[in-house]
Structure 1
Amino acid sequence: MLDELFVYILAVSIASILSFLLFLYAQFRLKDAPGAHPYMLATLFSAVFTFSYALELSSTSLERMIFWLNIEYLVLPFIPVFIFLMCLEYTGLKLKQRKRLLLFIVPIITIFIHGTNELHRLYYTSIQLNNDGPFPTLKLEHGPWFYVHSLFLFMCLMMSVIVLLSQLKKAASFRFRMQIILMTAGILTPIIANYYYVNGLSPHGIDLGPVSMSISFLFHGAALVSYQMFNVTPIARDTVFEKMKNGVIVLNQNGMIVDYNDAMLAIIPALNSQSIGKSIVDAVGKTGPLAEIFMLERECDYEICRDEERVYFQIQFSTVTNKNNYEIGKIITFVDVTEKVDLQKKLKTLASIDGLSQVYNRTFFMQESERVIGSLNGRDVSIIMFDIDHFKKINDTFGHEAGDKVLTHIASTAKESLRTNDIMGRYGGEEFIICLPDTSLTEAYELAQSIRVRISQHSTTYYNDEIYVTSSFGISSALIRKEDSHNTLEVLIREADQALYESKSKGRNYVAIYEDI
C-alpha cells in the first residue's frame, strides 16, 4: 500500500512542479500580458499549496500533518480569487479597485478562522488521525465556515468558467477557441475533484483537489505554450476594439454592418444595436454626403460639428480577405485628423499674416483678392490704397520701435471699419491696401474718409509721448466682367496707386479718386 501512497505523493509533487514552472514561464515571458499578473500569483500559490500537501501526505504524525495543513491554508483561500481575476483580465474585463479588494475579504477571514480553529471549532469540529486505511491521513469533521469557504471557492471558479465561455462566440479562430476550452477544462478539474472529496467519495480520505491540479496545470500548460494564452487576441475585443479613438465599422461581403465600436456613435449617432445586419447605406440614410461616400467607397475627408467645434476625419476603406485571398468584408475607419487640420490652418495663417500689423501680407492679399474678384461677375469692386504721411520722420524722431507701434495702431484702426468679407493687407513698408467686394466708388470714398478721420484723431502712445499721424488715400473702382476679370486687380492697384500719388501732391491727409485725376 506504500506504492499507492507514493503514486498520490508523486501526482501532487508533479502538480507542484508544473505549477512552479508555469509561474516561472509567466514571470519571464508574459509579464505585461492581460491576466498574467493574477495568473502568476495563482500558479505560485498553487505550487506552495500542492507541495505542502505532498509533505502532509508523507507525514506520519498528527502534529506534522496539522502543521502542513496550516501552511496549505495560508495560500489556498486566495487561489480561486486569482483565477477569477485572471479570467476577467484575459477577456478584457476589469473590476474597480474597491471591488477587487472585496474579493479578498472571505479568504482573509478563512485564514484567520483556520489558524485559530482550536479556539472556536468553526472550520473543523474535530481533527483526528485516520489509521483505518493503508496509510495515515487526516480525518476532518467540517465546521460551518468550511462550507462558507467551499461555497466561495466554488462560486469564484464557476464565475471564471462563465466569463470564459461567454467569450467563446467572440473567438475568431480555432486557436482562440482552444485557449478558452483548455482554460475552462483546467478550472473545472479541481471543482470535480473537490466535489468527490467534500462528499466523502475520495479514496482513503485523500483530498483530490491538490491531486487533480497536476491534470489542471497540464491543461493550462497546453493553452499557454501551444495556443499562446495571454496574447492580445480577438477575445480581448473590448480592450482593443472598443477603446480605439478612431471610429471603426466592420462590413461583411454584402455590405451589411457586422460590428462597430463606441467611437462611431459620436460620429454617426444613428447607429444602434438594430443597425447590425443592415446595409451601411440604410443605417446612415440614403441621402447626404456619407451615403455617397459609402456607396462609392471614396476615401476622403469628412467634417462634423461636435459641441460647437469642428471635428475632421479621414475616411479609409480596407478590404478584409481570407486565406484564399477572397474578399470577405470591409473595414471603414474614421481617423480623427482634427489636430492635423488645425495645425495646417495655423501654419497657413502664419504664412498669410504680416507679423507686425496682423493683416494679410502682400502675397496672400493678392491671392485672396483675385479669388474674390473672380466671383464678382456683374458686380462692383473697389480698391483703397493708403500710407502713413511722413513715416520716416517718426522713425527718425522716436525710433523704429515707435514706428512699429504706429503701424500696428493704424492697421488696427482701419480694420475696425471693415466688413467681414473685406480684405486688408500690408502692401509694403508703411503702405496698406484694402479690397472691397460689392462696393461702389462712392461707398469706398465714404469709407476711406471715415478711416482717414479716425487715424488723424487717435494718437499712438509711446512711453510718455502721444504720436499723431495722418494718412493719404487713393481709390479705384470697377464693374467686374467675367471675360476680363483676370486683369482687373492689377489695373485697380495701379490706378489706386496713381490716385494715392495725387493725394500726396495735394498736401497729404487727403482722399483722391482715380477718375478725378
Structure 2
Amino acid sequence: MGTELLFYRLLIILAGILSLFLSLFSYWKLKNAPGARQYMFVTFLSAIFTFLYALELSATTLREIKFWLGLEYVVMPFIPAFILLMCLDYIGIKLRQRYFFILFSIPLVTAFMHHTNELHHLYYTSVGLLESAPFPIIQLEYGPFFYVHSLYLFLCLAISIILLLLQLKKSIFRFRIQLLTMVAGLFVPILANSFYLNDLSPYGIDLGPVSMSISFILHGVALFSFQMFSVVPIARERVFDNMLEGVIVLNHKGVIIDYNQAIYRILPWLNASSIGKGINSVLSHSESLIELISHGKECVYECVEGTLTEHYQVRFSELVNKKGFKIGTIISFVNITDRVEMQRRLSELANYDGLTKLYNRRYFMDQTIAALESLFAQKGNAALIMFDIDHFKMINDTYGHVAGDIVLCEVANLAKNSLGPQDLIARYGGEEFIILLRGRTMDGAVELADSIRKEISESLIHLHDHRIQVTASFGISPIEVTSLDQTEAFKEALRYADQALYMAKDNGRNNVQIHKEQLQMA
C-alpha cells in the first residue's frame, strides 16, 4: 500500500510542477495579455495548494495532517475567484469595485471559518483519521459552512462556463474551438470535486489538485495552440460589433485570420470559410482592390454597388510582437463618402460659376493651360472664342436683374450643348463667355461660333408674360501651341479674341469676327 500512496503523491507533485510551470510561463510571455494575469495567479495558487496537499499525504499523524490542511486553506478558497476573474477578463467584462469585494469576501470568510473551526465546528463537525485506509488519511464530517464554500466553488465555475457558452453563437469557428477548450477545462474540476464529495475517490484522497492541473493543461492547449490570450475573441467581438469601420486582420503571410461585421458592406462575399485563406484569393472578385492592398499604402477605394457609390479610405496598421517583428496587418476601411461629397461641393463652389454652372474664370484658365500643354505634345490645334450678350444692360434695366440671370443661364446652356466633350466653356465675367476649342481648325471654329450665334438669336427666352429675343457677338483667335510657355500663348490668344469681339460689336453686333491678323492671312 506504501507504493500506492507514493504513486498518488508523485502524481500530485507532478500536477503542482505543471501548474507552477504554466504560472511562470504566463508571467514571462503573457503578462500584458487580457486574462493572463488571472491565469498566472490561479495557476500559482493551484501549485502552492497542490504541493501542500502532497505534504499532507506525507504526514503520519493527525496533528501534522491538520497543520498542512490549515496551510492549504490559506490559498485554496481564492482559486475559484481567480478562475471567474480570468473568464470575465477574457470576455471583456470588468467588475465594479463593490462586486470585486463581494467576490473575495466569501474566500476570506471561508479561510477564517476553517482556522477557527475548533471554536464553533461550523466548517467541520468532526475531524479524524480514516480507519479503513492503509495509510493516514484525514476523515472529515462537513459542517454547514463547508457546503457554503462548495456552493461558492460551483457557482464560480458555473458562471464562468455560462458566460463562455453565451459567446459561442456570435463567434467564428476558430474562436469557438478556443471557447469550448476553455469550457472543457472548467468541467474537469467540477467532476473531480463531485467524486470527492460523494466519497468515490480512492481512499478518500482529494484528486482536486490533479484535476485543476488537467484543467490548466486544457487552458494551456488553448493558450499555445490557438493563442487564446494573444487574440482575445470575446473582447474582439465586443470591440468589432461597435465599430463602423470595416476591418480585416491578416497574419504575416497575408492570410485572413479575422474580420468584423462592418466589412460585409464593402466585401459582401466574405464568409466564415474565408478565414485561413489568402487575401488575394478571397478578393478575386475585385482586381482593383487587390492592387490597392498589394501596395500596402493608405489610399481611397471607390465601392460601386448598383446605383450606390461609396468611398472608403483604406488604412494599413502593422502588428508587431515585443521583439519588433511583424506578425500581421490590420486593414481598415473608413467610410469617407460624406467627406468626398463635401469636397466635390466645395470644388464646385471654387471652380464653377454659381449662376450658370459653367467653369469660372480662374478654373478655366488653369484647365486651358493644362490642355495646351497636352496639345503641344500632340502638335494639335486650338482656338479661343469670346462672346457676350448684346445690349445686356438694357435687358436688366427693362426686365430686372432676375430676368437678366435667366437670360444668362439660357445662353450658357445653348452654348454648352453645342460643344463637344473635349471643349471647355466658362463664364468669363458679367455677360461675357469664353470657349476653348481643341483639335479644331480656324474654319471649324468659325463654323461652330456662327452656329451658336444663330441658335441664340433664333431662340425666344420666356420671362413670365414676356418673350425676349437676344443676340450675341463673337471674337475668335487661334492659339499657337508651338512654344513651351503655354501661359503666354493663352494670354496672347485671349488678347486677340477680345480684340476680335470688339470688332464684332463695331460691325453692328450679332456676328462673328476673327482677329484681324488671322483675317488677313485668311
TM-score by length of 1: 0.55
Corresponding position of 2:353: 354
- Is 1:481 the counterpart of 2:486 in the alignment? no
- Inter-partner Cα distance in structure 1 for 2:363 and 2:450: 26
Contact 1:422 1:436 in 2 (8 A): yes
Matched residue SS, 1:245: coil
Structure 1: give runs of 5+ residues left out of the alignment: 1-32, 44-155, 194-200, 202-232
Q: Deviations over 1:234-280 (max 9, x none)?
A: 41544542564322111223332212234435544675555433443
- Inter-partner Cα distance in structure 2 for 1:432 and 1:473: 10
After TM superposition, list the pairs within 5 Å mapping 1:441-480 onto structure 2: 441-478=442-479, 480=481
Displacement after TM superposition at 1:475 (Å): 1.1
Corresponding position of 1:393: 394
1:432 to 1:165, Cα distance in 2 relative to 1, 3 A: closer
1:291 to 1:413, Cα distance in 2 relative to 1, 3 A: closer
Contact 1:459 1:468 in 2 (8 A): yes
Contact 1:374 1:486 in 2 (8 A): no
Corresponding position of 2:256: 257
Displacement after TM superposition at 1:489 (Å): 1.9
Contact 2:386 2:432 in 1 (8 A): yes
- Inter-partner Cα distance in structure 2 for 1:369 and 1:318: 41
Tell me which amino acid in the other structure corresponds to 1:402: A
Tell me which amino acid in the other structure corresponds to 1:384: I
- Inter-partner Cα distance in structure 1 for 2:480 and 2:274: 55
1:440 to 1:169, Cα distance in 2 relative to 1, 3 A: closer
- Inter-partner Cα distance in structure 2 for 1:260 and 1:419: 48
The farther-off stretch of 381-390 and 313-322 is 313-322
After TM superposition, list the pairs within 5 Å mapping 1:4-83 onto structure 2: none
Tell me which amino acid in the other structure corresponds to 1:483: L
- Inter-partner Cα distance in structure 1 for 2:453 and 2:406: 18
- Inter-partner Cα distance in structure 2 for 1:436 and 1:182: 78
Contact 2:319 2:329 in 1 (8 A): yes
- Is 1:502 the counterpart of 2:507 in the alignment? no
Contact 2:296 2:316 in 1 (8 A): yes
Displacement after TM superposition at 1:434 (Å): 0.9
- Inter-partner Cα distance in structure 2 for 1:450 and 1:165: 74
Displacement after TM superposition at 1:296 (Å): 3.7
- Is 1:331 the counterpart of 2:330 in the alignment? yes
Contact 2:312 2:337 in 1 (8 A): yes
Displacement after TM superposition at 1:431 (Å): 0.6
Displacement after TM superposition at 1:482 (Å): 6.3
Q: Deviations over 1:481-506 (max 9, x none)?
A: 36343433222211211111111111
Contact 2:383 2:436 in 1 (8 A): yes
1:362 to 1:169, Cα distance in 2 relative to 1, 3 A: closer
The farther-off stretch of 262-271 and 292-301 is 262-271
Tell me which amino acid in the other structure corresponds to 1:388: I
TM-score by length of 2: 0.54
Corresponding position of 2:432: 431
Q: Deviations over 1:54-79 (max 9, x none)?
A: xxxxxxxxxxxxxxxxxxxxxxxxxx
- Inter-partner Cα distance in structure 2 for 1:405 and 1:34: 66
The farther-off stretch of 321-330 and 414-423 is 321-330
Q: Percent identity?
A: 40
Contact 1:172 1:234 in 2 (8 A): no
Q: Deviations over 1:298-321 (max 9, x none)?
A: 122222322244322211111223
Supply the RMSD in Å over aligned alpha carbons. Answer: 4.9
Corresponding position of 2:340: 341
Corresponding position of 1:235: 234
Corresponding position of 2:409: 408
- Inter-partner Cα distance in structure 1 for 2:283 and 2:442: 51
1:481 to 1:260, Cα distance in 2 relative to 1, 3 A: farther
1:309 to 1:435, Cα distance in 2 relative to 1, 3 A: farther
Corresponding position of 1:153: none
Contact 1:164 1:184 in 2 (8 A): no
- Is 1:170 the counterpart of 2:169 in the alignment? no
Contact 1:248 1:260 in 2 (8 A): yes
- Inter-partner Cα distance in structure 1 for 2:168 and 2:238: 18
Contact 1:248 1:263 in 2 (8 A): yes
- Inter-partner Cα distance in structure 1 for 2:509 and 2:409: 20
Tell me which amino acid in the other structure corresponds to 1:251: L
Displacement after TM superposition at 1:512 (Å): 0.7
Matched residue SS, 1:379: coil
Q: Deviations over 1:31-55 (max 9, x none)?
A: xx9999xxx9xx9xxxxxxxxxxxx
- Is 1:311 the counterpart of 2:314 in the alignment? no
Q: Deviations over 1:442-488 (max 9, x none)?
A: 22212211111121122333333322221100112246336343433
Tell me which amino acid in the other structure corresponds to 1:253: H
Matched residue SS, 1:424: strand
1:267 to 1:349, Cα distance in 2 relative to 1, 3 A: same
Corresponding position of 1:373: 372
Tell me which amino acid in the other structure corresponds to 1:170: F
- Inter-partner Cα distance in structure 2 for 1:234 and 1:157: 15
- Inter-partner Cα distance in structure 2 for 1:182 and 1:265: 33
Tell me which amino acid in the other structure corresponds to 1:304: C
Matched residue SS, 2:394: helix
How many residues align? The count is 345
1:485 to 1:286, Cα distance in 2 relative to 1, 3 A: farther
Contact 1:474 1:511 in 2 (8 A): yes
